[in-house]
Each structure stands twice: as C-alpha cells, then as structure tokens.
Chain A
Amino acid sequence: MNLQKVISGFFFIFAMTINFGFFYGDISNPALHSVYELFAALIISLISTVLKIGDKTQLGSVLLATSLVADIQLIAAVTVWTITEYLSVVDTESFAVIISLSGGALLANITSVILYIGETLKSKR
C-alpha cells in the first residue's frame, strides 16, 4: 500500500462525489444547492489538480486535462454566482447556469475517476 496513492485516489474520488452532491437536485431550486458544497467542490478539485501535476505519462496528462476542465467549470460557476448575487438578482435562469456548469465539471470528474480506476485495474501489483 502506497500512502501517496491513497491520498491522491481519495482526492480524485472526493472531488467527484462532492461535486455530485452539489449538482444533485432540482436545477431551478436554490434551496437544494448549498453554497458550502460548491466551495468545498472547488477546493477539492483544485487540490486534486495539483496532485495530478508531475506525471508525464500519457494517462497522467489526460488526467490533468480533465481536472483542469473541472476547475474551469467550477470557477465559472462561482464567478457567475458572485456576479449575479452582487450585481443583479439570482433568478432561475442564472441559477440554472450555475448548476449546469457544475454538472459539466461533474462529467469531467467522472471521466477522470474512470481513467483512474482503469489505470489501477491495469497495473499488475
């Protein structure tokens, strides 16, 4: 057992699950989506990105790419939320944008986890 593998695997999967937690629920109902969860999703996603840096293999590069996609989508969601909250009104339309952006990030996270699992199964040890 490799501690580093445990930590990175933990963060990869955590990024996906917490992202799902935020995304799950009626897309137009702000009461079902906690801002704390979005914050946690962004932080965990950033951490898992940093953990993916440094692997120069083909798979490592794709993992990093998916993680960057998730980061960008989550940062976009946070930015949209902040701008609408302070500069206009959070209506159904803008809230739907926030949730769908995080949904995109969720897809990227799922891809990343699938790749990660695939690599784990492939390794003989």
Chain B
Amino acid sequence: MADNVVWLVLQKLRIPLLVLITSYSIAILGMVLIPGVDDQGNVYHLSFFDAFYFVSYMASTIGFGEGPYDFTYGQKLWVSFCIYLTVVGWFYGIGALISVLTDARLKHELMHSRFKKSVKQIQGDFFIILGYNYVNSEIIKKLHDAQIELVLIDKNEEKINHFLLESMSKDVPVMVGDALLTDTLLDAGIKMPNCKGVVSLFHDEEKNLRISVLVRFLNPTLRVIAKSTINDITMSIMDTDISEILNPFEIFAKRLEFGLVSPHLLLLENWIYGNSDLASHTHFLPKNGKYIVCGYGRFGKALLPVFQRHNIAYVFIDEKRLATQTMIENETFIRANPDDKDVLCSVGIKEADAIISGTKNDITNISIMITAKKLNPNIYTIARENQIDEVSIFEEAQMDWVFIIEKIMVNKTALFLSKPFKHHFLTLILKENEILAKSLAKLLRTTINNNPKLKYLAITNEQSYAIYHELLAGGTVNLEMLRRNLSNWKEINKVVPLLLNREGEDLLLPKDMPLRIGDEILFACDDYAKEEIAFIASNIYDLHYVMTGEEKQIGILKKLFGSKK
C-alpha cells in the first residue's frame, strides 16, 4: 500500500520531529521571556510572533539580523545558546530524513506500491513470469513484441535492476519478491480475472511444483507453464490439473524420433517456430548403424524409448550414473568417461552412425564431438547445448545438429502463450505422419512461398466484424471467399487454410465450407493475402465485393435511390 510508505517515513521521523518541536519551543519561550530594550531605552518583551519569526530564520541559518531592536547582552547570551540548540536539531532532522529516504526498506516499499498500482492498471490479458534469467528474458521479448502484457517477479534485486535497464521494462511491472509466497503472487495479480497464466521455469523443479500447487489453490482457472524433467515431479505437477509441463529433453527425444521417421514434420515444426523456412534441406537420420549417446541422465533416459521403438542399436556412456543390470549385460551401457578416445573406440565409434553428446557440461560436449569427428569423419554429430552463451563455439565446431535446451524452452513457451491457436495446430500436426507432412510442405511451398506467414482469424464481433454481422443477418460466407483477391474476385490469393476449429472440433486442412459464428481458423498465406484476409473479414464493403463481385451501395444513397425503384 502507498500508506505503508507514509507510515514508514513518519515513524522514522518521530524523534527528529520531537527534537525540533522542543528546541523551537524552548528558544521561542526564552526569547519572549527575556526582557529587551528598545531604541528609546524602554524595557520591552518580544511578542510570540517576533520570537517565532526570529527563531525561524536563526534556526535555518538564514540570519536576517536582530530585531525588532538590537538585542541586549542578556538576549544575545540566550540566542548564542539557541543557535547551537536549533541548528543541531535541524541537522539531526535533515540527516534522519535523508537516511529514511535512502533506506532499502523504503525503496522496496515504494517499488512494491508502484508495482501493485501498475498491475491493477493492466487492461488486457496478462501473464506472470517468475524469475529473470536468459530464458525468461527471451520469452519476455517475444511476448512483448506480440503486445502481450506481462508481470515479472524475481527474488534477486540485482537481476531486477538488470531488467530495468532493458528497453521494454517500461511496460512490464517488476518487483523484488519471493515467488513462492502467496502474498507475492497475490500482489502480482494472480486473482485478477484478466490474469491468464504463470510461467514457472525454475531450474529447481521443486519450486515449479510448489508454484503449481499454490496457483491451483489461489486461482484454478489459470494455466501454469512449469519446467519439469524429473519423473516424480512431473507426475505431481500433472496432478494439479492446471499445468502445462515443459520438458526440453522429451521435446528433443520427440524431434529425434521425427528425424528418424518423418523429417518433414520436423521441417514444419521449425517453420512454425520461425527457426527456418520450408526450403531447408530435409533428410532422414541414419537408421542402420549404432547410436552412441554420451550421458545417461534425464536426457539419455528420454532418448532410450525412441531407440527401442525403432529398433536402433545404441550404447550409452556415462561415468557417474548406473543403468539397469540388463543394459550392462547387453553392453548397451558402459560406465566410463565419454570424453576419452579409447572409450569411444571401444564402443565402436568407427562403425557408428551417429553420436549424441548430451552431458550437462557444454565444453565436454564440444570436446567429445571433436574427438568423434577425428575418429570417424563421416559420423553424424548431435550435441546438447545447455547455455546459449556458448553458441559461437558450437557454430565453430560444425555439428550436424545442435540442440539448445534454453532455445527450446523459449520457443515453446512463447508460442504457447502468445499464439495459442498456432500452438494447437502444431500439436495436431505433430501427430500426423510423414506422407501428410511431406505433401503439406510441398503444397505450402508451391502455392505460397518458402516461408509462408500464419494468419489467425476468429469469427467474432471484434476480429471479423463484417463476417460476423453477415452471418447474424442470415447470410452465408464460405471459407473459400476469404481466399479471393480484392482487386479481382475471380482470382485466388496465395492462401492455404490449415486448421478450422468449430466448437472444439478440429478440422485439419479444411475444404471449402460455410463458416459459422465462433469458428477459429488458421491460414498459411503470404504478406499480401494476410492483409486482404483481415480486410475481407472486417470490412463490409470488401466482404460484399468478394461475395458478389459488385461494389456495395453506400447506405444513404441506397435509401434515397433504391426505394424509388
């Protein structure tokens, strides 16, 4: 509360105020009581006003001089005592005031009250981001570009100060606070109806679980995006029913599987994330030889089922962890240091198809790759990169595939929050097979271009005013009409409808059909068509033109001339 700040200042200034009042009243009273002599030689007493006036400018060291008449020695004696009394009182008071204003607690209170105020002023939907680190800063950038409101909390004041230097910090309320406390979450607006979700990507996954549980009780309508790679925690977080689990290792395992069976799905996924365009080279990962995986932690364990499903020969190398007895007996697990020439030779690197270096240490990963390339120049190299700061070294090392954990988390979270329908399409398409993916990629490439844009449209009053009112009036608008060209309605723009969602039912690659209110549609199109779709959907004249091929009569003219017919 803003109240707190005022209280804090007043409370700290109690003693200085008392000192000032007392010293002033002593000085004033003395000045009044001590007799003076006027210019006629008569004895007189200063009035209270005279005394107050004199003491005021004496105490503040302004010093206009003695008055109304020159002081007697008795008065001067008292004044010299009062100078020290009141001036020291003032210095003490000012010193106390400054120390209060620079007090860390006061600063925190001020920040807190500003934060609460700006959270309350957020109009649109917003998300709460917990913790400021590289991943979250990238997410914030992406969401900020998509004009989505955010609130940021971090426990560490230094990190908050760091964030305040960023250009987007003006629009994002920030506070130093412990996200694991209910009060902090409440201040961040977790109970506000326009709060839509919480992003909790702490490295310490226990925290993510705690946040999920807290949010579950505070506001069960929210979505929590929680990072979790440990099985037990994942299960517990899933039990809260409100969380979207983000496990970068699972995501990579899935991508590896696509690389093995359906590279076009991988292509589409990369295109939707905006990582690359559809013209990128696609090829199947080698499937016949052996895969050497360095590291059998959470990462290695996520890969194991993929190899088993596709009958691929594999061997895991890890120095610290232990696998099951059967794996050791089958020689699919070796306990050794993977960054060792002899070890790599002993697991058959010279005949192996691919090597995946997936340890926690980026430098070890690079070192393994370099050794592997030397031993077998044809080997397919896949490296795990934990921290994005090392990106230049990984580029230098010329891996076939670098898998950046932080980037996966950024892409996935940002897409999920800013473009939920796109994310929905992505999850649907990833369930499809290679044949569909290949033909879809080809269709998009030939009808549009190598890097089509995505356009989301909902048939609502806000997003597509014209269609909404046409449908309300009983008219029929077909999906195909949105593809027509506004300069010539018989021509078709470069548009491919990708997904239509009607009352929760998904229709992948919909054919031409009449639209209904509440439909949600995702198009792939070029920039030109993207603009025209928006025009057709919201402008009644443009809609009329693409429906009939005629210009719509303006209302008043129609009334004037139309009725005479």
A residues lining the B interface (CB < 8 Å): 35-36, 39, 43, 46-47, 50-51, 53-54, 56, 78, 82, 85-86
Q: In the bound complex, do residue B14 and residue A50 qualify as a contact, i.e. CB atoms below 8 Å apart?
A: yes
Chain B 24-46 per-residue mask, 1 if CB under 8 angstroms from chain A, else 0: 01001100100000000000000
Residues of A within 8 A of B21 (CB): 43, 46-47, 50
Closest chain B residue to A52, Cβ basis: B14
Q: In the bound complex, do residue B11 and residue A54 qualify as a contact, i.e. CB atoms below 8 Å apart?
A: yes
Residues of B within 8 A of A36 (CB): 32
Residues of B within 8 A of A85 (CB): 47, 49
Closest chain B residue to A42, Cβ basis: B25
From B7, B48, B49, A54 is in contact (CB under 8 Å) with: B7
* B10 at interface by CB-CB < 8 Å: yes
Q: In the bound complex, do residue A39 and residue B29 qualify as a contact, i.e. CB atoms below 8 Å apart?
A: yes
* Interchain nearest-CB distance for B236 vs A (Å): 40
B residues lining the A interface (CB < 8 Å): 7, 10-11, 14, 17-18, 21-22, 25, 28-29, 32, 47-49
From A50, A56, A82, B49 is in contact (CB under 8 Å) with: A82
- Cα separation A56 to B18 with both chains bound (whole Å): 19
* Interchain nearest-CB distance for A35 vs B (Å): 6
In the A-B complex, the 8 residue pairs with the closest CB atoms: A43-B25, A54-B11, A50-B17, A82-B49, A53-B10, A46-B21, A50-B18, A53-B14
- Name A's interface SS: helix
Residues of A within 8 A of B48 (CB): 35, 39, 78, 82
Q: In the bound complex, do residue A54 and residue B18 qualify as a contact, i.e. CB atoms below 8 Å apart?
A: no
* Interchain nearest-CB distance for A77 vs B (Å): 12
Closest chain A residue to B52, Cβ basis: A82
Q: In the bound complex, do residue B49 and residue A86 qualify as a contact, i.e. CB atoms below 8 Å apart?
A: yes
Q: Would you give 8 A-B contacts (Cβ < 8 Å), ordered by A?
A: A50-B21, A51-B14, A53-B10, A54-B10, A56-B7, A82-B48, A85-B49, A86-B49
Q: In the bound complex, do residue B22 and residue A47 qualify as a contact, i.e. CB atoms below 8 Å apart?
A: yes
From A39, A46, A53, A86, B28 is in contact (CB under 8 Å) with: A39
- Cα separation A86 to B53 with both chains bound (whole Å): 13
Residues of B within 8 A of A46 (CB): 21
- Cα separation A104 to B29 with both chains bound (whole Å): 25
- Cα separation A43 to B51 with both chains bound (whole Å): 14
- Cα separation A32 to B114 with both chains bound (whole Å): 54
Residues of B within 8 A of A35 (CB): 48
Closest chain A residue to B15, Cβ basis: A50
Closest chain A residue to B33, Cβ basis: A36
Considering residues B10, B11, B48, which has the most beta carbons from chain A within 10 angstroms of its beta carbon? B48
* Interchain nearest-CB distance for A70 vs B (Å): 14
Closest chain A residue to B12, Cβ basis: A54
* Interchain nearest-CB distance for A1 vs B (Å): 21
Considering residues B11, B22, B25, which has the most beta carbons from chain A within 10 angstroms of its beta carbon? B25
* Interchain nearest-CB distance for A19 vs B (Å): 15
Closest chain A residue to B11, Cβ basis: A54
Residues of A within 8 A of B14 (CB): 50-51, 53-54
* Interchain nearest-CB distance for B90 vs A (Å): 16
Closest chain A residue to B29, Cβ basis: A39
**Seed contacts A54-B10, A78-B48; 16 additional CB < 8 Å A-B pairs:** A35-B48, A39-B25, A39-B28, A39-B29, A43-B21, A46-B21, A50-B17, A50-B18, A50-B21, A51-B18, A53-B10, A53-B17, A54-B14, A56-B7, A82-B48, A86-B49
* Interchain nearest-CB distance for A78 vs B (Å): 8
- Cα separation A43 to B32 with both chains bound (whole Å): 15
- Cα separation A86 to B25 with both chains bound (whole Å): 21
- Cα separation A50 to B11 with both chains bound (whole Å): 9
- Cα separation A78 to B47 with both chains bound (whole Å): 12
Residues of A within 8 A of B17 (CB): 50, 53
- Cα separation A102 to B17 with both chains bound (whole Å): 23
Residues of A within 8 A of B11 (CB): 53-54
